[in-house]
């Protein structure tokens, strides 16, 4: 009987192994002010080829892109190109107004803090060939009951194209060039938006995003250069040759389209652990960024402390669904979620360290009401990372 069972196991084992789903691509990188260390590197970057993920393979980091946008904005504030409290209409050359409040200005600070009264109800992807100005003229794009600045916090992706387009109009540069000049290049990080500007070598290492069903979601070979990588309206050629900066930076997906590896994302995280002495941001802009997280949103279950695209977590004493790390220490940063991916860049400024991570093929939320909060897989991943860090410190 035992021999027959053993023989059956020998026959079934290869089939069982083949039946297993590939390990989702997952990277966790720890960093402090001086060092960057891969902690967890596992899974398949491209299931079609079996290519395993490597520590700095570029991935779409989703809404962490908004934090990079905030840094680019503040760099331009320090250059004197824009002001956080100026009316963005002054940069764009056309009026940005909530239909019910035509006298209320919309500012970069409001947009970055999700207090401009914008909503995603009307959609937030404006393809090449369509008009950002026309999108903002739709009443469904706005909160109807309060003016910008007084409207309640509502996380809205639509604000990001407005910010990015205003930055373009103020500088005459395209948004991807702005981010490269003000953030990536100064910090020695390789990154790009919608694959525009990424090298062939980076594109070859793209992490394909899969849904939990195994379906391809983004960035398979058909979704990267030389194929079209930007949203394009029907009948419009997929070309940036005639694009005029300051008209529709939504084509760069500023709300979530940054592609970057975790080792390079950690370089951006290190900036939050440095002093103002390195001159990346002036003391005034540094204070504006860090102090913004003291904005409290009592009606939020996740974005309880959120300012200029910067969030504070694990400081809510149970009031918020933001307990990602088992130690409960206060961290600042931003989360990402899209196309089956969860990602995060979180810094413990007092301890002088941080974590950059992503994991893929995460199941979607179960209902429309299940909004905000970290996925159990993220929480388990951070517990695993912390255990590895504790082990390394005790060795």
The larger pLDDT score, comparing residue 150 to residue 298, is at: 150
- Assess if residue 65 is contained within a domain: yes
| 110 cis-preceded (ω within 30 degrees of 0) | no
- Assess if residue 11 is contained within a domain: no
Tokens of 110: 């409001």
- How far apart (Å, rounded) are the C-alpha atoms in residues 261 and 190? 8
Q: What angle do CA 99, 160, 275 make, to 5 degrees?
A: 130
- Assess if residue 196 is contained within a domain: yes
pLDDT of residue 46: 98
What angle separates helix 64-78 from helix 283-291, to the nearest 10 degrees? 150
pLDDT tens for residues 217-257?
999 999 999 999 999 999 999 999 999 999 999 999 999 99
- Assess if residue 2 is contained within a domain: no
Q: How far apart are the first and last CA of the chain?
A: 47
Strand, helix or coil for residue 391: helix
Q: What are the φ and ψ backbone dihedral angles of 371, each rounded to 5 degrees?
A: -115, 130
Domain that includes residue 94, residue range? 22-234+245-394
- Assess if residue 10 is contained within a domain: no
CATH of the domain at 278: 3.40.710.10
- How far apart (Å, rounded) are the C-alpha atoms in residues 168 and 314? 35
Identify which of 64, 63, 73 has the alpha carbon closest to the alpha carbon of residue 288.
Answer: 73
- How far apart (Å, rounded) are the C-alpha atoms in residues 217 and 255? 17
Q: What angle do CA 72, 338, 373 make, to 5 degrees?
A: 90
- Assess if residue 160 is contained within a domain: yes
- Assess if residue 17 is contained within a domain: no
**What are the beta bridge partners of residue 82?**
none
Identify which of 108, 125, 64 has the alpha carbon closest to the alpha carbon of residue 256.
Answer: 64
Whether pLDDT at 324 is above 80:
yes
Q: What angle do CA 389, 393, 394 make, to 5 degrees?
A: 120
How high is the mean pLDDT of the chain? Answer: 91
Looking at the structure of the chain, the number of domains it has is 1
pLDDT tens for residues 156-181?
999 999 999 999 999 999 999 999 99
pLDDT of residue 17: 35
Strand, helix or coil for residue 214: coil
Whether pLDDT at 87 is above 80:
yes
pLDDT tens for residues 36-58?
999 999 999 999 999 999 999 99
pLDDT of residue 244: 96
Q: Cβ neighbours of residue 213 under 8 Å, at least 6 residues apart?
A: none
Exposure string (b/e) for 103-134, b if CB count within 10 Å is 16 or more? ebbbbbbbbbbbbbbbbbeeebebebebebbe
- How far apart (Å, rounded) are the C-alpha atoms in residues 75 and 278? 13
Residue 12 pLDDT level (bands cut at 50, 70, 90): very low
Residue 67 pLDDT level (bands cut at 50, 70, 90): very high
- Assess if residue 3 is contained within a domain: no
**Is residue 45 a contact partner of residue 52, using CB atoms and an 8 Å limit?**
yes
């Amino acid at each position: 009987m035992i021999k027959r069972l053993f023989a059956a196991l020998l026959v079934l084992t290869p089939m069982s192994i083949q039946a297993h789903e590939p390990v989702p691509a997952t990277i966790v990188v720890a960093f402090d002010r001086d060092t960057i260390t891969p902690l967890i590197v596992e899974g398949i970057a491209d299931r079609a080829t079996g290519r395993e993920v490597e520590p700095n393979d570029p991935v779409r980091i989703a809404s962490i892109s908004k934090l990079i946008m905030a840094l680019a904005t503040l760099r331009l504030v320090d250059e004197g190109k824009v002001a956080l409290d100026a009316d963005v209409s002054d940069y764009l050359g056309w009026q940005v107004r909530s239909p019910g409040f035509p006298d209320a200005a919309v500012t970069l600070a409001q947009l970055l803090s999700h207090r401009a009264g914008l909503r995603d109800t009307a959609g937030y992807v404006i393809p090449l060939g369509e008009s950002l100005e026309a999108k903002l003229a739709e009443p469904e794009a706005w909160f109807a009951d309060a003016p910008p600045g007084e409207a309640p916090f509502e996380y809205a992706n639509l604000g990001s194209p407005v910010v990015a387009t205003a930055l373009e109009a103020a500088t005459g540069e395209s948004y991807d060039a702005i981010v490269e000049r003000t953030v990536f290049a100064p910090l020695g990080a390789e990154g790009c938006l919608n694959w525009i500007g990424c090298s062939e070598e980076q594109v070859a290492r793209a992490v394909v995003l899969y849904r939990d069903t195994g379906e391809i979601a983004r960035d398979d070979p058909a979704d990267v250069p030389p194929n079209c990588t930007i949203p394009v309206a029907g009948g419009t050629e997929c070309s940036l040759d005639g694009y005029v900066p300051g008209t529709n930076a939504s084509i760069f997906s500023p709300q979530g389209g940054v592609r970057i590896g975790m080792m390079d994302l950690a370089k951006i995280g290190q900036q939050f652990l440095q002093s103002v002495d390195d001159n990346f941001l002036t003391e005034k802009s540094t204070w504006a960024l860090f102090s913004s997280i003291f904005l409290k949103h009592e009606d939020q279950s996740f974005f309880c402390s959120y300012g200029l695209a910067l969030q504070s977590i694990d400081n809510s004493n149970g009031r918020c669904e933001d307990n990602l790390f088992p130690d409960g220490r206060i961290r600042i940063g931003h989360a990402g979620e899209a196309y089956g991916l969860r990602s995060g860049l979180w810094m413990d400024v007092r301890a002088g360290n941080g974590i950059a991570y992503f994991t893929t093929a995460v199941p979607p939320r179960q209902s429309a009401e299940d909004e905000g909060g970290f996925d159990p897989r993220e929480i388990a991943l951070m517990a695993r990372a912390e255990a590895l860090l504790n082990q390394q410190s005790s060795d």
